[in-house]
Amino acid sequence: MQVRTSLPMEGKEPCVLALGNFDGVHQGHRRLLEHGLEQAVRLGVGLDVLIFEPHPLKVLFPERGVKLLSAIQDRLRYLEEMGVHTVYLLPFTMEMANTSPERFVETILLPLGVIHVVVGFNYSFGAHGKGNPELIQILGQKLGFGVSVLQAQMLGGQVISSSSIRKALLQGDIRLASSLLGRPPCLRGTVVHGEERGRQLGYPTANILPAEDILIPKRGVYAVWAELDGRQVPGMMNIGMKPTFHDLYGTSVEVHFFDFKKDLYDREILVHIEERLRDERKFNGIDELLIQLKKDREKADYVLTKILLQHTTLQKHD
């Protein structure tokens, strides 16, 4: 898959173009992309994707402090797995925000060689969000490209959207978030030095510092795994404010990996969150904490082993 950060200088080969921010590349996004691939096969061209970076809401409404489900490198990986040919990762600026919908189509979409556009029902573009799927259909008829508008995708009576997944994660509902995403939610960050208290307690942890704009799930303990040195390493993650040791402390993310002893400092890792085990608690001393950590590890190990066996069984049937 190609990733381009500018419009092509010369004539672009015809393409089907999917529009959206694709934060999380969730089940709704996947259906849109699958439809785009179907159209691309029908028309004998590739499926391209246009994404603006940073997220438009971060430029238009910086005071909202928008938190994202996935870092851009993860979005790109998911799009490549879906079969996307080229991703145009274009900068979103106030100048872009003030571009009229008509000019957006003429100066952005047409130079990309679009012969068919795929959008979601709530996609907006152009100055003040005046561009909508109905307008892009009108412009498509005028300028000679087809348009597919996909309606909301539902799961169990709930609309699949990035905002509904964010809400689920903030409530600690990992099962719902996983269902809406179509895979376990992830948290990417850089391993930094911490207080090293976990090492002293016999539970060394990797202290993960996520990017400022990445959403951190509800405080608590989670069963997780990460790919480290080419293998899947299980572990348990604590998101919290260390109430047993501090009256006031910022939210930290710590992962204790089972059976992994190597130095992870300064490495960027992607943690896959499988299940929430319990709420954050304040313990009456280290002994009580150690008893609970042992229980957490046993429960996390049980959860992850069960999931691994399920995956192995499914692979055998495939």
Question: Which DSSP string corresponds to 44-99?
Answer: TSEEEEEEEES-HHHHH-GGG---BSS-HHHHHHHHHHHT-SEEEEEEP-HHHHTS
Position 135 scores a pLDDT of: 95
Q: pLDDT above 70 covers what percent of the chain?
A: 94
Q: What average pLDDT does the structure give for the chain?
A: 91
119-164 pLDDT, tens digit each: 999 999 888 778 999 999 999 999 999 999 999 999 988 899 999 9
Predicted structure pTM score: 0.91
Place of tokens 């990017």: 211
Position 118 scores a pLDDT of: 98
CATH number for the region 11-158 comes to 3.40.50.620
Sign of the torsion angle spanned by Cα atoms 193, 195, 200, 204: negative
Q: Any idea where the domains of the chain sit in the sequence? A: 11-158, 185-317
Neighbours of 259 (CB within 10 A): 8
Distance separating alpha carbons of residues 169 and 113, to the nearest angstrom: 38
150-199 pLDDT, tens digit each: 999 999 888 999 999 999 999 999 999 999 999 999 999 999 987 767 67
Give me the mean pLDDT over the 42-56 stretch: 95
Greatest mean pLDDT among 25-29, 51-55, 124-128, 228-232 lies in 25-29
As its CATH architecture, domain 185-317 has Beta Barrel (2.40)
Which of 162, 181, 87 is closest to 120 using CA atoms? Answer: 162
Reported for 178-185, long-range contacts at CB under 8 A and 24+ positions apart, including other chains, are: 178/274, 179/27, 179/155, 180/26, 180/27, 180/155, 181/24, 181/26, 181/27, 181/69, 182/26, 182/27, 182/30, 184/272, 184/273, 184/274, 185/69, 185/217, 185/272, 185/273
Cβ contact 300:220 at 8 Å: no
What are the φ/ψ torsions at residue 27 (nearest 5 degrees)?
-60, -35
Which of 174, 313, 311, 301 is closest to 234 using CA atoms? Answer: 301
Angle at 38 between CA 32 and CA 41, to 5 degrees: 140
